[in-house]
């Protein structure tokens, strides 16, 4: 055994600022609050009973009646915003139900605003939940891809429909070229010049969306259209392209930008925030949620610790807000 080694003592003791919880909170660089949370809600049309989504434990397809209680629950918890996704029973090739004033999209926005007037209602403007083929716009003549330019006019109509229902924020998620410009023009021409747009500017063709497809009923695999969304959603390998997409959306009139998914793309969140200094949001998507839920159920991790750590990491990366299915659970902990 070797003895009498002259090991130098550290001159800098960084552990001094970790000695107890109060000290750690006192010097904490990043904070998470209820104000950072946005809760996604699924609403199923023409059903009398809310149903839990098997691949997303704790998340339900609400009915139009139970939507009222869910929105009020978010409002009571102090969550500032919700985003709505419809599970439509009236699908067709172009998603026309979402462009009608009596359609599900219009109704669920109106119901939410009446339930809690002070909560911000974000309208997901896209067609995947309302088309019978599950893609984010009408298909071209030979059904090989989404017709980008035909989709633009429909997006403007859909956005105006949401505005008339009372939406506070329009959030286009389809990744169509020129989509933000088309929506901005439609809103402005219809008297909604002050309605902001939260653009899904960096939305990747990710493998982490699977449970959402179950929840929203927009899985692909039918006889119409391509078998994936890779011609309009981004290649996960591309970071510089994310900056080009974001810049284009800002130039077209986006007021806020988003990165989706969140956890595997923290570098993109940081790049977007540092480059543009815009209000920047992260979508903590369904697959990320499910991984923590099922890992916790298996006893592999502590659910609450992993949940709060993952949400904090979005803020640390530069996100100003987080769309997350954990919002209500996180709010309970943050409010306690």
Provide the annotated active-site residues. Answer: 203, 260
Q: Is 289 helix (H, G, I), strand (E, B) or coil?
A: helix
Which residue's entry shows tokens 């929506």? Answer: 183
| Residue entry with tokens 């139009």 | 64
Query: Rg (Cα) of the chain, in Å, rounded?
Result: 22
The number of helices, as runs of H, and strands, as runs of E, in the chain is 11, 10
Q: Residue written as tokens 């070229």?
A: 177
Other C-beta atoms lying within 10 Å of the C-beta of residue 191: 11
CB within 8 Å of 21: residues ≥ 6 apart: none
Q: Which among 138, 110, 142, 109 has a CA at the least distance from the CA of 126?
A: 138
State residue 269 phi and psi, 5-degree precision: -55, -50
- Between CA 239 and CA 242, with CA 240 as vertex, the angle to 5 degrees is 65
- 240-252 helix and 179-189 helix, angle to the nearest 10 degrees: 20
Cα–Cα distance, 120 to 321 (Å, whole number): 13
Cα of 110 vs its chain's centroid, Å: 20
List the one residue out of 231, 170, 173 whose CA is nearest residue 202.
173
- Alpha helix (H) residue ranges in 42-178: 66-77, 104-115, 148-165
Task: Look at residues 96, 104, 107 and name the one whose alpha carbon lies nearest to residue 157.
Answer: 96
Question: Virtual CA dihedral for 182, 258, 122, 160, nearest 10 degrees?
Answer: 0
State how far the Cα of 244 lies from the Cα of 151, in Å rounded to an integer.
Answer: 21
CB of 152 closer than 8 Å to CB of 177: no
């Amino acid at each position: 055994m070797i003895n009498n080694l002259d090991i130098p003592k550290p001159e800098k003791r960084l552990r001094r600022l970790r000695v107890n919880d109060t000290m750690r909170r006192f010097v904490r660089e990043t904070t998470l609050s209820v104000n950072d949370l946005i809760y996604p809600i699924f609403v199923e049309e023409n059903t009398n009973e809310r149903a839990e989504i098997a691949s997303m434990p704790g998340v339900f397809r609400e009915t139009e009646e139970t939507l009222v209680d869910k929105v009020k629950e978010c409002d009571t918890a102090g969550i500032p915003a919700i985003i709505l996704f419809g599970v439509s029973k009236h699908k067709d090739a172009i998603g026309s139900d979402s462009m009608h004033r009596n359609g599900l999209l219009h109704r669920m926005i109106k119901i939410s605003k009446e339930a809690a007037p002070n909560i911000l209602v974000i309208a997901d403007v896209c067609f995947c939940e309302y088309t019978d083929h599950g893609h984010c716009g009408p298909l071209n003549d030979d059904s090989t891809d989404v017709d980008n330019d035909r989709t633009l006019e429909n997006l403007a109509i859909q956005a105006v429909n949401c505005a008339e229902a009372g939406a506070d924020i329009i959030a286009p998620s389809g990744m169509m070229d020129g989509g933000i410009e088309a929506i901005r023009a439609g809103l402005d021409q219809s008297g909604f010049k002050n309605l902001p747009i939260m653009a899904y500017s960096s939305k990747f063709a990710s493998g982490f969306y699977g449970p959402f497809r179950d929840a929203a009923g927009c899985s692909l695999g039918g006889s119409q259209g391509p078998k994936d969304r890779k011609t309009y959603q981004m290649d996960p390998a591309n970071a510089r392209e994310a900056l080009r997409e974001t810049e284009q959306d800002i130039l077209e009139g986006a007021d806020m930008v988003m990165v989706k998914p969140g956890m595997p793309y923290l570098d993109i969140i940081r790049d977007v925030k540092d480059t543009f200094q815009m209000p920047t949001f992260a979508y903590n998507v369904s697959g990320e949620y499910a991984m923590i839920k099922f890992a916790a159920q298996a006893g592999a991790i502590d659910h609450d610790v992993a949940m709060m750590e993952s949400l904090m990491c979005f803020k640390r990366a530069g996100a100003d807000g987080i769309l997350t299915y954990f919002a209500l659970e996180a709010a309970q902990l943050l409010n306690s």
